[in-house]
């Protein structure tokens, strides 16, 4: 079995739990996801099955989320699972919120949460945090492509945001930092990933609907559907060379990464200068 599957990860389980379920159903160990979701978050989790795990680096990795920010309180983890740190009764209006949100658009420097899996000196940040140890955290450059208010309830002080961003962006940090800029504190109370690369939430299959290997096969996505690079069709002779990892000489529609196809199936991911094609990953 070889391909992608677009899973809707439910709230309350880890991304690794999803992988474990699929391994149990399919009896395939070579399964991986393209980007973890926190246990309290839900939504799109693209999963690669079999040799498709070798394609993760070639998939579009921008993400989109709908996040709910609860203003008035900050927490240690920047979300609902942490302990309260600060509280404020300060009221803010929608115009103030939109003005501050402008500071988060485009390329920005973001400090990851202290409770995160980023490694510093060989240890994950949350390991330091759990022991009460402090460590210097370097800001990371991320891109916020789109950030807009979907809804704001001034009485409940809940703010719903749509965020389209680069890989590695912490929505929890946006919630915390926005609350600080507004002077009212804030934390992330809900998070739904609605897009991961070219996988969207409307096409995602619920984990509870995958109970057999036939269910998995029925929802398996051909890798060619999600590899957004120019493609070149191979003849029999070229396919045989590629299957042995040999270079081929072929006019291609581009320079750089090209997808080699044989009989409507993925044969290889390659790199080309326009004529010489050198295989990077072979699948035949």
> Which one of the listed residues 17, 38, 62, 247 is annotated catalytic?
38
| CA-closest candidate to residue 41, choices 67, 64, 75 | 67
CA 93 – CA 50 distance, rounded (Å): 50
CA distance 162 to 160: 7
The C-alpha atoms of residue 174 and residue 64 are separated, in whole angstroms, by 14
- Crossing angle (nearest 10°) for helices 94-101 and 171-182: 120
- Token pair of 101, please? 């949100």
Tokens of 121: 């000196």
Q: What is residue 198's three-state secondary structure?
A: coil
Q: Tell me the β-bridge partners of 272.
A: 256, 277
Tokens describing residue 210 = 């995958």
Strands 256-262 and 276-282: unpaired
Residue 47 gets which letter from DSSP?
Answer: E
Residue 107 exposed, middle or buried by CB count within 10 Å (0-12, 13-18, 19+): exposed
Q: Is 38 a catalytic residue?
A: yes
Question: For residue 78, is it left (φ>0), alpha (ψ between -120 and 50) or beta?
Answer: left
DSSP H helical segments within the chain, as ranges?
Answer: 15-26, 94-101, 125-130, 171-182, 213-218, 236-243
Please provide residue 27's backbone torsions phi and psi, each rounded to the nearest 5 degrees.
Answer: 65, 20
**Residues acting as catalytic residues:** 38
């Amino acid at each position: 079995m070889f391909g992608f599957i677009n899973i809707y990860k439910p709230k309350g389980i880890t991304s690794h739990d999803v992988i474990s379920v699929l391994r149990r159903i399919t009896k395939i160990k070579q399964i991986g996801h393209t980007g973890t979701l926190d246990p309290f978050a839900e939504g799109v989790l693209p999963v690669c099955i079999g040799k498709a795990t070798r394609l993760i680096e070639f998939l579009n990795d921008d993400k989109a989320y709908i996040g709910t920010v609860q203003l008035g309180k900050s927490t240690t983890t920047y979300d609902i699972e942490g302990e309260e740190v600060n509280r404020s009764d300060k009221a803010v209006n929608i115009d103030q919120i939109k003005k501050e949100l402008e500071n988060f658009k485009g390329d920005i420097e973001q400090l990851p949460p202290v409770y995160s899996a980023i490694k510093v000196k060989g240890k994950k940040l949350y390991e330091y945090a759990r022991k009460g140890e402090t460590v210097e955290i370097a800001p990371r450059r991320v891109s916020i492509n789109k950030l807009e208010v979907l809804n704001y309830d001034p009485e409940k002080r809940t703010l719903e945001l749509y965020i389209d961003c680069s890989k590695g962006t912490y929505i929890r940090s946006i919630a915390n930092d926005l609350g600080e800029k507004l002077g009212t504190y804030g934390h992330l109370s809900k998070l739904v990933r609605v897009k991961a690369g070219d996988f969207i939430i409307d096409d995602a299959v619920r984990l509870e609907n995958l109970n057999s290997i036939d269910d998995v096969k029925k929802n398996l996505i051909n890798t060619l559907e999600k590899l957004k690079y120019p493609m070149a069709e191979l003849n029999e002779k070229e396919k045989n060379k590629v299957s042995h990892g040999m270079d081929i000489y072929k006019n291609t529609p581009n320079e750089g990464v090209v997808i080699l196809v044989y009989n409507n199936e993925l044969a290889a991911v390659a790199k080309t200068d326009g004529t010489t094609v050198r295989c990077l990953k072979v699948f035949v």
